[in-house]
Amino acid sequence: MMIKGYVWITTDWLPSVFDSSETIDSGTADLLQGVVALRHHTADSDLKTRFSSRWGKIKNKETSRYNSYALYAYDSVWLIARALDSFFNGGGTITFSDDPRLRGTNGSALHLSSLRIFNEGPMLLQILTSMNFTGLSGEIQFDSEKNLIHPAFDILNIGGTGSRRLGYWSNHSGLSTVPPETLYMKPQNISNTDRRLYSVIWPGETTTQPRGWVFPNNGKPLQIAVPYRVTYPEVVTKDKGPLGARGFCIDVFEAAIELLPYPVPHQYILYGDGRRNPSFGDIVFDVAQNKFDAAVGDITITTNRTRNVDFTQPFMESGLVVVAPVKEIKSSPWSFLMPFTWQMWAVTGVFFLFVGSVVWILEHRMNTEFRGPPRQQLVTVFWFSFSTMFFAHKENTVSTLGRLVLILWLFVVLIINSSYTASLTSILTVQQLSSRIQGIDTLITSSDPIGIQDGSFAYNYLVHELNIAESRIRVLKTQDEYVNSLLQGPAGGGVAAIVDELPYVELFLMNSKCKFSIVGREFTKSGWGFAFQRDSPLAVDLSTAILQLSENGDLQRIRDKWLSREGCSSQVSPTDQNRLSLKSFWGLFLICGIACFIALVIFFGRVCLQYSRYSADGEQPDIEEPESARSSRRRTLRTPSFKDLIDFVDKKEAEIKEMLRRKSGESKRHPNQSADGQSS
């Protein structure tokens, strides 16, 4: 029990023996290597130096060395002497009395009846506890409970043929490498960061701090079941080394064990015959039946299994996925239409015509380039609309509203062109794969056979949870069977797809040189954990250790060592995933549409205002004009036709302004002429 992993802490008896002995036997010293001991602390002082000098001059003494008890004994004699001096100076006397409770017994050599009681004992005790002086051992003063006010100890580490001081302890400063008497005048130390000692050399000549105790299991190592896998030996398998097993799971468990504050002796026992993967459900059941203390491996945490054993925190995320054969999608002569959905193409085309029409309406009255015969104007609308796609329109816009609408539309066209280019590039350069199996839903609705890994919990999940017929399930034992079954397909006696956990599938895809691919999404969420018997404290402690491995990056490094290689595309990427739909651009179309609507409202509002002025400022009736003609003229002006409105809108803006100006001048002259006529 003096080897590596053990700790011995002794009280002051051991340093007292060392300090009092002239020499220490080498055999005894070898047995004490690494022991930590406590010794009463006595401060260095002139009193202590003079005492040592006087002690060395004494002749015929039993030993030339003394320990801390000798200093306390010396101070105790002086304490009694000082107390008695104070007692007598205070008028105290010494008297004794008999105690009837002290009686001799027949045949006893104690003679208790001859003992007497010191009557002034309580007074002397009070004087003793109130004394305050400095002796060889340091300051001597007692508190209300008759304890020294500043007790302190030296902390020693036995090594070689002597000891070395690691530091000090006192009730004032706690652990410290500074002598406690230098800290009594400072505030009390309550910070744990300052409480430290020098490094310790523990038994076994190691500086590594021992864990303190061994995990109790009746003195026997833990019997841990390890699945003897045939497929995916990277995860866990048999090994000829001292552990007997190796792989990703073993490295994770060993790393977690090293982080525990106590050692856990354990022994790996292979579970399985090595010809096929064992049943993980049977491993968990045997742990629950106390045949094994724990199970370490790629054991998936499921609801049924948690009812029988305790699992640690998952150290590996896992879930069921579908892997199926895929084929490459060849380029199509219509690939240039693939970046957008048909809805996106339709809405974009409608908006080209809509914006072109809006700009024509806003520019028609002001811009000569947007005027002419109806056929020419229709061609102009179509040309202007679609030429904006390439920013190649030649017609200039002169109206403020037209320019505003065009600026917003050109911004929308810029975004659409950039998105189209990026999507088309992705479609033409990225390899596209397709499979008739799109995921677990496709498998459920079909009647094709499904492959699973031997020993996997996927069998129970597919049959009992998804209600897939057992006759459709094919158990595959090796990766070669995986490949052959997928290549043969249902028509050739193989399977349409394989359902397995994601870590296995990733390894399979890498080992098969990416001939297959994952289709659909991961449809379950679970993880791998270590299984222990119910209420085992190791399950909780190892969960904490696994979290620590994850936080410091060691878990990822172990995974990279065993499982990470050159990856493949684990997901079928159909062309539809790169196509852009209307929902990605409806915001731009909405902004452009609102701008066009507002521009049209302003334009037609302005036109209606001009037309109302034009109608109200119609030609004034001539005085000499017959009454019937004037009545007919008023009816015509009061009931303008739609054709008149269209003709008015079709006029140039300059003509409208000139017409309104002329009408306004004539209306001012008519009242004056009418007044002159009446005057004459």
Contact 63, 92 (CB under 8 A): no
More confident: 282 or 512: 282
Closest of 412, 402, 397, 411 to residue 602, by C-alpha: 402
What are the φ/ψ torsions at residue 187 (nearest 5 degrees)? -60, 150
What per-residue confidence (pLDDT) applies to 79? 95
At 645, the pLDDT band (50, 70, 90 cuts) reads low
What per-residue confidence (pLDDT) applies to 619? 46
pLDDT mean over 108-129? 86
More confident: 132 or 658: 132
pLDDT mean over 189-200? 73
pLDDT digits (tens, 9 = 90+) for 147-185: 998 899 999 999 887 889 999 998 888 888 888 888 887
| Range in 129-133, 402-406, 487-491 with the lowest mean pLDDT | 402-406
More confident: 71 or 564: 71
Q: Which of 214-228, 448-462, 623-637 has the highest mean pLDDT?
A: 448-462
Look up the pTM and report it: 0.51
pLDDT mean over 63-88? 91
What per-residue confidence (pLDDT) applies to 368? 64
Tokens of 181: 């008497």
Same topology, domains 9-100+115-185 and 321-329+431-525? Answer is: no
What per-residue confidence (pLDDT) applies to 405? 78
CA dist 204 and 34 (Å) reads: 7
- If one counts every other C-beta atom within 10 angstroms of the C-beta of residue 343, the result is 11
pLDDT digits (tens, 9 = 90+) for 138-149: 889 999 889 998
- pLDDT more than 70, % of the chain: 77
CA dist 237 and 233 (Å) reads: 5
**CATH code assigned to 9-100+115-185:** 3.40.50
Q: What's the mean pLDDT when you consider all of the chain?
A: 81
Positive or negative, the CA dihedral 514, 517, 522, 528 is negative
What per-residue confidence (pLDDT) applies to 579? 58
pLDDT digits (tens, 9 = 90+) for 453-490: 998 889 999 999 999 999 999 999 988 999 999 999 99
pLDDT digits (tens, 9 = 90+) for 317-367: 999 999 988 776 655 665 666 677 778 778 877 887 887 777 777 776 666
Inform me whether the pLDDT recorded for 637 exceeds 90.
Answer: no
- Considering the four listed CATH numbers 1.10.287.110, 2.30.30.30, 3.40.190.10, 1.10.230.10, the one that applies to the domain covering 220-318+526-564 is 3.40.190.10
More confident: 629 or 610: 610
What per-residue confidence (pLDDT) applies to 381? 72
Residue ranges per structural domain of the chain: 9-100+115-185, 220-318+526-564, 321-329+431-525, 335-429
What per-residue confidence (pLDDT) applies to 570? 47
Inform me whether the pLDDT recorded for 94 exceeds 80.
Answer: yes
What per-residue confidence (pLDDT) applies to 89? 92
Q: Please, where are the H alpha helices in 225-341? A: 248-258, 280-288, 303-306
What per-residue confidence (pLDDT) applies to 225? 96
CA dist 652 and 243 (Å) reads: 97
What Cα–Cα distance (Å) separates residue 484 from each residue in 328, 452, 515?
20, 13, 12
pLDDT digits (tens, 9 = 90+) for 268-327: 999 998 889 999 999 999 999 999 999 999 999 999 999 999 999 999 999 999 998 877
Count CA within 13 A, CB hemisphere, residue 597.
6
Inform me whether the pLDDT recorded for 382 exceeds 80.
Answer: no
User: What architecture (CATH level 2) is domain 321-329+431-525?
Assistant: 3-Layer(aba) Sandwich (3.40)
What per-residue confidence (pLDDT) applies to 333? 64
Inform me whether the pLDDT recorded for 500 exceeds 90.
Answer: yes
User: Residue 570 region, left (φ>0) first, then alpha (ψ -120 to 50), else beta?
Assistant: alpha
What per-residue confidence (pLDDT) applies to 243? 92
More confident: 50 or 380: 50
More confident: 656 or 135: 135
What per-residue confidence (pLDDT) applies to 623? 41
Q: Which of 393-407, 527-541, 620-634 has the highest mean pLDDT?
A: 527-541
